[in-house]
């Protein structure tokens, strides 16, 4: 199950604890972890991947807070402008296959109790039956801040918007009503189909926006303001839940609270004030929250008062009056910066906090996250003095690099280039005192630099890592990848498993070692280009994609463009591909290329009268044989074939014909006839005969399956031990397609069985494979 975490809320109603640049989901109530982190921790047992939807402004806060979780698989959907829950949810859902179970969770709710697990299990069962499931909370007070759900058992009768007090009183008395928690669980396809039915214009707008998304750092999905503005800003309830007949509710037995105001914090001891320095004398119903680091708070004979103290702002208000903070802000624009920002400033590399500032000095506490670097720069008019408090640093000062630890200090004179990296396993904290005639933030001259790679940080790159694939549930898929290749997945059928993929349409995940849980592109950026070999010119555009494909039904008749066309029109690589047949049903085969020279008109005609297949070569397949399909060749994998596919990393398929079939929701897949007609090769096609190069040794046989400009691929049938070649100019990919065994390299040892995949960074050192198995080895 995938978890979509909604974390874009501005939530500044808890001011001054929360600010516009630090909304309430990121604050900590107990001083140890934030409400957002609590949300992630609570759902880790149920979800294998997290997509956090948030505002671009909060990217660094989210990234830093997610660092607390080892092995967590996550990425961000970053919005330049918030567009309410419909856009946030739909844009995240469009990332996943239709068969995926999706759990939507707001990040600013407090939830407790064992019953959470029971509620998720119950909702999972209902969602698998095709329902869109909501979670309803028992009504305890006549609260006007929430929407309500009227229900009959699990059946939702209707959703009701935030009521007035009188209505809320009625709901409190009526056992059919529950509070809408904003948690939802559903099968992606069922949800998208209901949106298509009830708000077709909105899903259309989201699908268009999806085409315009940008990918950052290989994993984050960024939506620009102009793109988002095309999507109506609407709550998801209005878009689909108020309309659909397929909505069910699970009545929650767990404790739930949406912390909406400062007063809520006082209730049930939500906020831990054990250590706070405060005293009350003859006070009644008075709440003091003291987060100031240097002051105490004393309340003398107060009644019904809330006091919140922080280092730069103090709030004193009548209980229940915090709602008017909004108006107060509006009436005091001159104080805006206090409302918007706290003392802590969030940067891509960590945070800093201004402790004291005057014209001639600034004192800062700087926290640099593990593995991060404050890039090289210099200052024209200030000298900096650094004292390391904790952690380990590598500092480059005037071209000289040295390592430092706690209690070390140094002076950075004016006009001296310096750079600092955290090379330890914990945050690096140092105090910085800047002095000069006039110390100004904008006095900073950047010098070109980059993040340190693994080796520079002192890590040894692991000799290989196991991969976990991304799954695709295209309508022609079957169950053989589960049954014969050990693939575990919640889908009824799997069409493809993307074993080694850094492609945005489905990334595989590192499943072993120090970077376990990371998306493959993220892992690549960590180990650095050097580890992919010099032939891999760009890790941002990783060159190959390795898949397993199970065609239970015929695939569409299709063609792929070449590099020229795809790079200029689609911002993708072209797609040359090779299929290595793993198994086939009797009589199964592939369609590949035209039987004779064709004209564009003849092809068009054949598409109209449905005879296109009869124009193509039909090639019965054999197990253990490789078929190379150059870009431009019209082709279709026929039903009953299972292949391991090695291809350029591209998702660019132009469908010509899809047998007029529909998916389980009654939708036809998109065809791309015009583009296909533009890129196809109309000539008669003859299957090129690739001369197997076979090397037979005592304990293994090596066969070269294909050699092309884009990759070289070989099969190793091993009965005992084999030394696999090492490539110092390229990474390699290994897939076990038969049997089982063990891999050894340096001090690493890992067992594998059929269906397992590995990524091997480039190195001059050979891998040893032992077992009774067949491995497919690919390199560029
Ligand atoms: O368009 P459909 O029918 O789903 O087929 C798409 C699939 O086609 C195959 O020939 C390969 O190119 C796969 O990499 C691709 O994913």
**Which domains can be identified in the chain, with CATH numbers?**
2-260 (3.90.550.10), 263-338 (no CATH), 344-446 (2.60.120.10), 465-679 (2.60.120.10), 694-779 (2.60.120.10)
Whether residue 739 has pLDDT greater than 90: yes
The residue whose CB lies within 8 Å of the most ligand 1 atoms, and thus the one to mutate among 548, 555, 562, 644, is: 555
The residue whose CB lies within 8 Å of the most ligand 1 atoms, and thus the one to mutate among 98, 550, 644, 653, is: 653
The residue whose CB lies within 8 Å of the most ligand 1 atoms, and thus the one to mutate among 472, 549, 662, 668, is: 549
pLDDT score for 273: 63
- Check: CB of residue 410 under 8 Å from CB of residue 388: no
Distance 485 CA to ligand 1 centre (A): 19
**Which helix (H) or strand (E) covers residue 138, if one does?**
strand 132-138
Mean pLDDT confidence for 200-224: 93
On the 0-12 / 13-18 / 19+ scale of CB atoms within 10 A, 620 is exposed
Distance 523 CA to ligand 1 centre (A): 26
Alpha carbon of 304 to those of 141, 257, 259: distances in Å? 20, 22, 19
Atom of ligand 1 nearest to the CA of 549: 13
**Quick one: tokens of 589?**
């085969």
Global pTM reads 0.90
Look at the block and give the residue holding tokens 């790079």.
Answer: 567
Residue 337's pLDDT band (cuts 50, 70, 90):
confident
> Whose Cα sits closest to atom 15 in ligand 1?
653
> Whose Cα sits closest to atom 1 in ligand 1?
556
660: left (phi over 0), alpha (psi -120 to 50) or beta: left
Residue 216's pLDDT band (cuts 50, 70, 90):
confident
Is this prediction's ipTM beyond 0.90?
yes
pLDDT score for 67: 87
Q: Mean of the per-residue pLDDT values for the chain?
A: 93
Whether residue 331 has pLDDT greater than 90: yes
Distance 553 CA to ligand 1 centre (A): 12
What percent of the chain clears pLDDT 90, i.e. is strictly above it?
77
Mean pLDDT confidence for 62-85: 93
pLDDT score for 272: 64
Q: Spell out which residues line ligand 1, taking CB within 6 angstroms.
A: 474, 496, 547, 555-556, 558, 577, 637, 645, 647, 653, 655
Whether residue 300 has pLDDT greater than 70: yes
Distance 78 CA to ligand 1 centre (A): 30
pLDDT, tens digit, 9 for 90 and up, residues 224-269: 999 999 999 999 999 999 999 999 999 998 989 888 788 777 776 6
pLDDT, tens digit, 9 for 90 and up, residues 465-496: 999 999 999 999 999 999 999 999 999 999 99
pLDDT score for 217: 77
> Whose Cα sits closest to atom 16 in ligand 1?
651
Distance 655 CA to ligand 1 centre (A): 9
| Strands 732-745, 767-779: pairing kind | antiparallel
Distance 555 CA to ligand 1 centre (A): 7
In whole angstroms, give the CA distance from residue 129 to residue 114: 24
pLDDT score for 691: 73
pLDDT, tens digit, 9 for 90 and up, residues 350-393: 999 988 889 999 999 999 998 889 999 999 999 999 999 999 99
**Alpha-carbon torsion 356, 357, 361, 365, what sign?**
positive
pLDDT score for 686: 87
Whether residue 298 has pLDDT greater than 70: yes
Residues designated as active site: 655
Atom of ligand 1 nearest to the CA of 545: 14
């Amino acid at each position: 199950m995938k978890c979509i975490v909604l974390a874009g809320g501005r939530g500044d109603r808890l001011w001054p604890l929360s600010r516009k640049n630090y909304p309430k989901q990121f604050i900590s109530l107990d001083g140890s972890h934030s409400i957002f982190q609590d949300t992630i921790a609570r759902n880790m047992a149920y979800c294998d991947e997290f997509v956090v939807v948030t505002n671009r402004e909060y990217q660094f806060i989210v990234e830093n807070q997610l660092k607390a979780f080892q092995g967590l698989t996550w990425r961000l959907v970053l919005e330049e402008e918030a567009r309410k829950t419909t856009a946030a949810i739909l844009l995240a859902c469009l990332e996943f296959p239709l068969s995926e179970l999706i759990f939507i969770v707001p990040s600013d709710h407090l939830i407790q109790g064992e019953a959470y697990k029971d509620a998720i299990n119950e909702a999972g069962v209902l969602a698998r039956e095709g329902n869109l499931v909501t979670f309803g909370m028992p009504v305890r007070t006549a609260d006007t801040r929430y929407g309500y759900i009227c229900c009959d058992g699990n059946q939702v009768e209707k959703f009701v918007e935030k009521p007035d007090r009188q209505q809320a009183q009625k709901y409190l008395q009526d056992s059919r009503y529950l509070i809408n928690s904003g948690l939802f669980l559903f099968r992606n396809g069922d949800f998208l189909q209901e949106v298509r039915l009830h708000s077709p214009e909105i899903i259309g707008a989201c699908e268009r926006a999806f085409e315009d998304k940008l990918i950052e750092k290989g994993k984050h999905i960024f939506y620009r303001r102009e793109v988002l503005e095309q999507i109506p800003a609407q709550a998801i309830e209005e878009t689909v839940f108020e309309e659909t007949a397929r909505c069910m509710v699970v009545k929650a037995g767990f404790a739930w609270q949406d912390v909406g105001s400062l007063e809520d914090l006082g209730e049930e001891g939500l906020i831990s004030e054990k250590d706070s320095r405060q005293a009350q004398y003859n006070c009644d119903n008075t709440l003091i929250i003291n987060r100031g680091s240097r002051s105490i708070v004393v309340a003398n004979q107060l009644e019904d008062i809330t006091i919140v103290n922080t280092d730069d702002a103090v709030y004193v208000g009548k209980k229940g009056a915090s709602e008017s903070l909004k108006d107060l802000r509006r009436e005091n624009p001159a104080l805006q910066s206090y409302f918007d920002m706290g003392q802590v400033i969030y940067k891509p590399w960590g945070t800093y906090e201004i402790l004291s500032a005057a014209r001639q000095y600034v004192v800062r506490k700087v926290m640099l996250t593990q593995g991060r670097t404050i890039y090289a720069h210099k200052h024209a008019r200030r000298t900096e003095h650094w004292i390391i408090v904790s952690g380990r640093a590598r500092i480059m000062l005037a071209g000289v690099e040295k390592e430092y630890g706690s209690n070390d200090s140094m002076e950075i004179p004016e006009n001296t280039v310096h750079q600092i990296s955290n090379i330890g396993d914990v945050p690096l904290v140092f105090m910085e005192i800047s002095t000069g005639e006039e110390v100004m933030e904008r006095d900073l001259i950047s010098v070109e630099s980059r993040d340190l790679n693994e080796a520079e940080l002192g890590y040894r790159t692991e000799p290989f890592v196991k991969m976990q694939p991304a799954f695709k549930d295209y309508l022609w898929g079957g169950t053989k990848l589960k049954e014969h290749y050990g693939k575990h997945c919640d889908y009824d059928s799997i069409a493809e498993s993307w074993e080694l993929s850094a492609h945005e349409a489905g990334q595989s995940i590192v499943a072993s070692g120090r970077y376990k849980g990371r998306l493959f592109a993220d892992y690549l950026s960590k180990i650095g280009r050097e580890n992919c070999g010099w032939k891999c010119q760009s890790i941002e555009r990783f060159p190959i994609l390795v898949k397993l494909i199970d065609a239970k039904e015929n695939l569409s008749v299709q063609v792929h463009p070449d590099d020229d066309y795809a790079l200029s029109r689609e911002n993708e690589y072209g797609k040359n591909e090779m299929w290595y047949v793993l198994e086939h049903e009797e009589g199964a085969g592939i369609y590949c290329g035209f039987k004779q020279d064709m004209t564009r008109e003849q092809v068009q005609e054949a598409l109209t009268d449905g005879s296109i297949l009869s124009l193509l070569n039909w090639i019965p397949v054999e197990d253990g044989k490789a078929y190379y399909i150059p870009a431009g060749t019209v082709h279709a994998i026929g039903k009953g074939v299972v292949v391991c596919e090695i291809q350029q990393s591209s998702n660019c398929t132009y469908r010509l014909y899809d047998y007029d079939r529909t998916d389980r929701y009654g939708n036809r897949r998109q065809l791309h006839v015009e583009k296909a007609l533009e890129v196809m090769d109309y000539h008669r096609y003859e299957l090129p005969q690739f001369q197997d190069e076979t090397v037979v040794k005592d304990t293994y046989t090596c066969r070269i399956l294909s050699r092309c400009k884009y990759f070289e691929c070989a099969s190793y049938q091993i009965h005992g031990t084999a030394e696999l070649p090492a490539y110092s100019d390229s990474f390699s990919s290994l897939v076990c397609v038969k049997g089982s065994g063990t891999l050894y390299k340096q001090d690493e040892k890992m067992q594998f069985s059929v269906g397992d995949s590995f990524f091997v960074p480039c190195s001059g050192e050979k891998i040893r494979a032992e077992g009774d198995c067949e491995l497919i080895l690919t390199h560029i």
